[in-house]
Amino acid sequence: MNWQLRHDADGLAWLTLDCADGAVNTLSAPVMHELSATLDALDAQPPRGLVIRSAKKAGFIAGADIDEFAALNGPEAARELIARGWNLFERLASVRYPTLALIHGHCLGGGLELALACRYRLVADEPDTALALPEVMLGIVPGWGGMLRLPALIGAPAALDMMLTGRRIDARRAAALGLADARVPTRLLDAAARHQVLSNQKPRRARGIPALMNRPPFKGLVARQARKRIAEKDPQGHYPAPGAILDLWEHHDGNALLAPARLDAILSSDTARNLVRVFRLQERLKAHGKADGTPAVAHVHVVGAGTMGGDIAAWCALRGLTVTLQDQDLSRIAPALGRAGKLHARKLKDRRAARAAFDRLIPDPEGHGIARADVVIEAIVEQVDAKRALYRQIEPRLKPGALLATNTSSLPLRELGAELAQPQRLVGIHFFNPVARMPLVEVVRGPADDGSAQARACAFVGAIGKLPLPVQDAPGFLVNAVLAPYMLEAMRCVDEGMAPAAIDAAMTAFGMPMGPIELADTVGLDIALAAGRQLADGAEPPRCLLQHVERGELGSKTGKGFYTWRDGKAVKPARGEAGRAAPGLAQRLTAPLIARARRQVAAGVVADADLADAGVIFGTGYAPYTGGPLHGSRPQEPTAPTTE
């Protein structure tokens, strides 16, 4: 049994979900069938109220069973799956007794749709509480009532923002929006649930302007504005789900069963299949981050308070670790502390939680934290001699069992660890910039490592909420190795006379989050040149790249590169003034990226093509709708690869 039902002395029914064969709760067909049978029993003897909760430590309900969705074998099966959830939650919403969803941890997809079908919702006031309708990220729609009930509860603007982005909201935001009736300290959840269910309060509904946005003529206006934003972000229509969500909300009150043709097209699309594949790739990366008995990391010491080192330290403190940050003096550490304070305030919202995170980040110019740290991360200049000199100072002070990690983006670990007394403890932990936004971290196995250091490093990366990708020690590892030929080919197009903005526009139309020329400016043209010389198989660097570097125009960090940079943004020509990109440009630029990815797999840098796809998608933003550079057919060209 997945559900356990008990009745208390007050006549309340407490229904607890604890899926038998999983670490998280999912709404599989058997789970839904059991819930239906439970509602039958409660209809026969109605309780004073019903509280639905989870026995899983991880959270409430993670959503529908992805395996069932992936196994759908036709439109009839797809409609049956949607009808199962829609009808069951309609039934839950119409029971005569009050119902309450008691939410802690994650409440996602079908889990949130179940909660929306309850009269009340309480959320645990915890940092890991997260509510979302992320179906759009799988190329599908929230078809079990989310498109009906969420706009009615919190108003169309906020509801559409959640549904069209898949964005998660925390307990504080859920209460502020009215999605939750209250946020409650964990120790008081049961008592608060009892009080709320017996209160006989009317269920919440959107009021005022948010409520008006659900009605004509305002509903049509909201939909038109949302379609305009979707078109700006996805001009080629690679992702059909957002438009379908809007249509179903506007014309069918969120009932996907009233638009079977639209539903069939969405659920059977290549985009949906590929985004489900990407989800599974993400889960595979997360599996590498499972601790599996490895010692937990409590203290991290970071050497180098520059952009990368300082931001790594700030992220680790945000995720609950004690962090000591070392550089030559406090004046070099101060800018990193300023960025950390802003990050913690932005991510945590709560002033006390942000202050606690900031207090976990300790300036340490003398390096006293080295002796206490479980992991020491070096993030200094990319020079072998400088790193070796630092290791000579660090290694004698490391405690037994501590990992020594380098954030190098390209230097071979076999050279960096050549003088270490215990080279087996050296591991690469390569974060990407910006640290707070990039989910992937390459974890590099050194030549003296039997695999245990890499496994421990992967567990550390998983513990701080990042996706670890195990890679072998090789020039550029995976991500930089595939990016270098892609960016260099784009610069050769500039040598041929194509405008940088036209090249970038063609590749963002293809589905990249940023064009290759803007990416090179962001990385730094000096770094792009050095990486190109290392990874371009002896080919001459593009003339335009050499010219910019010779003039000291290194990109965003100097304010000028291929673009002029102001306030951290590239200044680009107005729409229609950037010129045309050549036909076939997306195929031309991705061809060397794909070829290099195949080479890295063949060389054993990553274990297989699936992990290569995962690394390139989560490390570069490679168009997720394709399923990855090594998956499926050749790249699809945008139908109008121009800025006109």
pLDDT in tens, 405-428: 999 988 999 999 999 999 999 999
Amino acid at 395: E
Q: Percentage of residues in the chain with pLDDT exceeding 90?
A: 87
* pLDDT at 644 (0 to 100): 27
Distance of alpha carbon 528 from alpha carbon 561, whole angstroms: 12
Measured CA to CA in angstroms, residue 337 lies from 309, 312, 319, 361, 567 at distances of 11, 11, 16, 8, 20
Helices (H) and strands (E) in the chain, counts: 26, 19
**pLDDT exceeds 90 at position 293:** no
**479-633 under CATH 1.10.1040.50, yes or no:** yes
Which residues make Cβ contacts (< 8 Å) with residue 232, sequence separation at least 6? Answer: none
**pLDDT exceeds 70 at position 446:** yes
Q: Which of 68, 76, 135, 496 is catalytic?
A: 135
> What would the pLDDT profile of 125-182 be if each residue is shown by its tens digit?
998 999 999 999 999 999 999 999 999 999 999 999 999 999 999 999 999 999 999 9
The whole-number average pLDDT for the span 571-578 is 79
**pLDDT exceeds 60 at position 638:** no
* pLDDT at 642 (0 to 100): 31
* pLDDT at 71 (0 to 100): 87
* pLDDT at 410 (0 to 100): 83
**pLDDT exceeds 50 at position 436:** yes
* pLDDT at 643 (0 to 100): 29
CA angle 276, 161, 28 (to 5 degrees): 35
The whole-number average pLDDT for the span 89-118 is 98
Short-list 637, 641, 638, CA closest to 579:
641
Domain range summary for the chain, segments of one domain joined by +: 3-268, 295-473, 479-633
User: CATH: 3.40.50.720, 3.20.180.10, 1.10.3720.10, 3.40.50.300. Which one for 295-473?
Assistant: 3.40.50.720
Out of 202-216, 279-293, 364-378, give the one with best mean pLDDT. Answer: 364-378
CB atoms inside a 10 Å sphere around CB 393: 11
Q: What is the CA radius of gyration of the chain?
A: 26
What CATH class is the domain 3-268?
Answer: alpha beta
> What would the pLDDT profile of 193-220 be if each residue is shown by its tens digit?
999 999 989 999 999 998 999 999 999 9
**pLDDT exceeds 80 at position 581:** no
Distance of alpha carbon 424 from alpha carbon 442, whole angstroms: 18
Q: Which of 113, 395, 442, 489 is catalytic?
A: 113
The whole-number average pLDDT for the span 80-97 is 97
Are the beta carbons of 4 and 40 closer than 8 angstroms? no
Short-list 103, 129, 91, CA closest to 353:
129
> What would the pLDDT profile of 537-557 be if each residue is shown by its tens digit?
888 999 999 999 999 999 998
> What would the pLDDT profile of 8-49 be if each residue is shown by its tens digit?
999 999 999 999 988 899 999 999 999 999 999 999 999 999
The whole-number average pLDDT for the span 321-344 is 97
> What would the pLDDT profile of 475-530 be if each residue is shown by its tens digit?
999 999 999 999 999 999 999 999 999 999 999 999 999 999 999 999 899 989 98
Establish whether 135 is a catalytic residue: yes
